[in-house]
Amino acid sequence: MIIQNNNTFHLQGRNISYIISVNSAGDVVHVFFGQKLRNKEYSGTEKNQLGLVAYCENGVTLDGVCQEYPSYGYNDLRNPAYSVKNKDGNSISHLKYRGYNIKENYTPQIQGMPSIFAGDKSAQTLELTLVDDTVGVEVVLSYTVFDEYDVILRSAEFINISNSNVELNSAYSASIDISKGTYDLIYFPGAWTREREFVRCGITQGMKFDISNARGISHCINPFIMVTEKNADEDNGDVYGFSLIYSGNHSSMVECDQYGNIRIQQGINPFMFKRVLGSGESFTTPQCVMCYSESGIGGLSRELHDVYRENLCRSKWAHKDRPILINNWEATYFDFTEEKLISIAKQAKEVGIELFVLDDGWFGKRNDDLRSLGDWVVNPEKLPSGIDGLAKRINEEGLKFGLWFEPEMVNPDSDLYRAHPDWAISVPGRTPALSRHQLILDLSRDEVCDYVINAVCNILKSANIEYVKWDMNRPMTDMPYEGYNHDYTLGFYKIMDAITGAFPNVLFEGCSSGGGRFDAGVLAYMPQIWTSDNSDAVARLKIQYSTSMGYPVSAISAHVTAVPNHQNGRVTSLKMRGDTAYAGVFGYELDITKMSGKELDEIKQQIEMNKQLRTLMRTGDFYRILSPYETNYCSWEMVSKDKTDVFFYAAKILSTTNTVEARIRLKGLEPEADYIDIAAGKVYGGDELMYYGIEPEFESCDFASYTMILKKNNT
Ligand code: GLA
């Protein structure tokens, strides 16, 4: 609901209030974001209370005042929400409020970029118009609030209302100033095979964090951050989340000003960004999802999970159980024949696997990673029956068939590159940098996007392909101009729109050298994303634990792979590998034809278990219990919305001697209800599980895991 009261706008979500006020000088001031407030006239701080630094003519100094979309260089010298250069070549700007518009039942769908949709939820959008007459720019700030959620969606549109060009050098999607307090920042840096590590640090005066990425793909930093009250933990305390629906270069800026206020901004990375707007032209930022929870990090995660599952993912697969897959990559790498693939599929069918995925190496002359990206034509030597014939054979074995593509790429050794060398991103006078022997196609060009769309669609039309793994395996170099990465990202979305729109029944999985493009933009098109090339169960504890802070378990692709693990050499039990992968979209990636009878029996049981669990894992409320970042354990739990079905997981990383186990207390249950441990038949009280806890019986070895399926006892 949006309540407008003179110059105050009060946005109320399910449990939140977001209050904006326009002060007497026409500045748009941020009043409050937090737990729901009753409606009243709130005005916020008019001007800097200290009065010592009134360095502008009318005496209103905003430096230190909480604002909604701050300008730079006039009466606020903190990091600005945007930067425009006018025809005189300076970047001093000052936006003033002009008016507002409230749109009922409306969620903005940002042109060319994915956005949250309303679905069956009730949404209202407030648009505030701000103008800088000297520069000649109008900015429309958009705020969407839902009756059912605790999120505010934000974006900003810039319109050049002058007669000359205006240069936009930065444009955050959202900016917010949280008034003085003691806060922590949580963000998710990483690298290939150790994506999205959890980092928490204090925010103190004078600090300015630019949590940004300018590499095209985001292994090293994720576009999701949280700012929490100092004492907030998984279950308690104020937590603010900022998640960008964007797959290009991004920035989350956190600054603590000289008075202790915290400024948080999120949007396109200003580094190497520029947009020249001709007279009358406009530019809209991607959408930022701002979320608040008073129930700690866990509360915030569950809220984002609901929003993303229900109102971001467009695929019908968002609401369907995903097939249990087997992928041949780690089983064969490039070295396979049709018969080898069929033998894997046959064995996979026997244990209950439902989908066979053919990974890299099926096209052109791709027997290694040196060549053929771009040539999306089957290699008849490896696959004499073609993709169509192979898909038919796999279907005859009783499995669905899926296929890997890396459509944004080209190898110099490819027919595509020989025909169109100018289609690869490059700058005049320089040889473009290779990475994994490949170059990136220039998706800012329509004809290149059309090639990609046609190449992929032709293959998808040619055979019964029910799943696609969409990979992107290198960072972006040689960008021809400032702002290029945004144009590339728009090209990527155009392709995604076209292909996922043309094949609505196909299940798409995102991938980027493992989890290098795990973001809400990708999630809009592809309901599951390969989380990391590191599938070692112990490494996955951390990766899946922290990924779940910003993204639903239904998006976190998790495979059981062979031991010693191909990435880090660790040997873990098949049990631990399976147990850990249940908290994700479950699958296998190993040579199942080489497994022993005993192992195959265990896999059969895992598959039965996953079939029993997968609806719950896709739709339930996820609780993190013990952090592998802080303890020798990892524990999490999924509870169905009606609190009837529960999956509990715990792992003990290293074995210990002569110690007692800590009891682990479950969360989110009905205390008065009884819950039965399905396997053991033992009945627990909900209160007992949550307040007294359980003592998992870990095997006495390193890397031990324990699971329990509980059901509410209705009798
Ligand atoms: C990337 C992916 C892997 C696999 C290979 C194939 O590294 O993350 O899963 O598909 O590419 O080349």
- In the predicted structure, residue 189 carries a pLDDT above the cut 80: yes
Q: Where are the alpha helices (DSSP H) in 228-336?
A: 296-311, 329-332
Q: Ligand 1 pocket test: which of 328, 409, 533 has the largest number of ligand atoms within 8 Å of its C-beta?
A: 533
| Chain position carrying tokens 């050298």 | 513
Pocket test for ligand 1, best of 513, 528, 535 (most atoms within 8 A of CB): 513
Catalytic residue annotation: 471, 533
Each residue's pLDDT tens digit, 653-662: 999 999 988 8
Cα–ligand 1 centroid distance for 440 (angstroms): 16
Minimal-distance CA residue to ligand 1 atom 1: 513
What are the tokens at 643? 């609190």
The two structure tokens encoding residue 120:
């069956």
Closest-CA residue, ligand 1 atom 7, reads: 513
Distance in angstroms (rounded) separating the CA atoms of residues 460 and 499: 9
Which pair of structure tokens corresponds to residue 688? Answer: 């007992």
Percent of the chain whose predicted confidence (pLDDT) is above 70? 98
Atom of ligand 1 nearest to the CA of 404: 10
| Residues 250-268: b if buried by 16+ CB within 10 A, e if exposed | bbbbbbbbeeebbbbbbbb
Statement: residue 539 has pLDDT above 70 = yes
Residues 6+ apart with CB under 8 A from 385: 338, 392, 393
Global pTM exceeds 0.95: yes
The pLDDT value recorded for residue 714 is: 80
Establish whether residue 359 lines the binding site of ligand 1, counting it when its CB lies within 6 angstroms of any ligand atom. yes
Instruction: Count CB atoms within 10 A of the CB of residue 191.
Output: 11
> Does residue 574 sit in helix, strand or coil?
helix
Pairing, β 355-358 against β 400-405: parallel
Pairing of β 250-256 and β 262-268: antiparallel
Distance CA 562, CA 569 (A): 10
Whether residue 310 has pLDDT greater than 80: yes
- Distance separating alpha carbons of residues 125 and 139, to the nearest angstrom: 15
Backbone angles phi, psi at 476, to 5 degrees: -100, 120
Closest CA to 310 of 114, 119, 444, 32: 119
Indicate the helix (H) or strand (E) that contains 239: strand 239-245
Does the structure show a pLDDT above 80 at 58?
Answer: no
DSSP letters, 75-115, are S--S--SEEEE-TTS------EEEEEEEEET-----TTS--
Strands of 348-393, DSSP E? 355-358
- H/E run at residue 104: strand 96-104
Distance CA 190, CA 680 (A): 40
> How far apart (Å, rounded) are the C-alpha atoms in residues 129 and 140?
5
- Local confidence band at 42 (pLDDT 50, 70, 90 cut-offs): confident
219, 334, 359: which to mutate for ligand 1, most atoms within 8 A of CB?
359
Residues 6+ apart with CB under 8 A from 319: none
- Determine the atom of ligand 1 nearest the C-alpha atom of 511: 8
Residue 611's closest CA among 635, 646, 582, 634?
582
pLDDT at 57: 60
Residue 363 CB less than 6 A away from ligand 1:
no
For residue range 441-458, what is the model confidence (pLDDT) as tens digits?
A: 999 999 999 999 999 999
Q: What is the pLDDT of residue 303?
A: 98
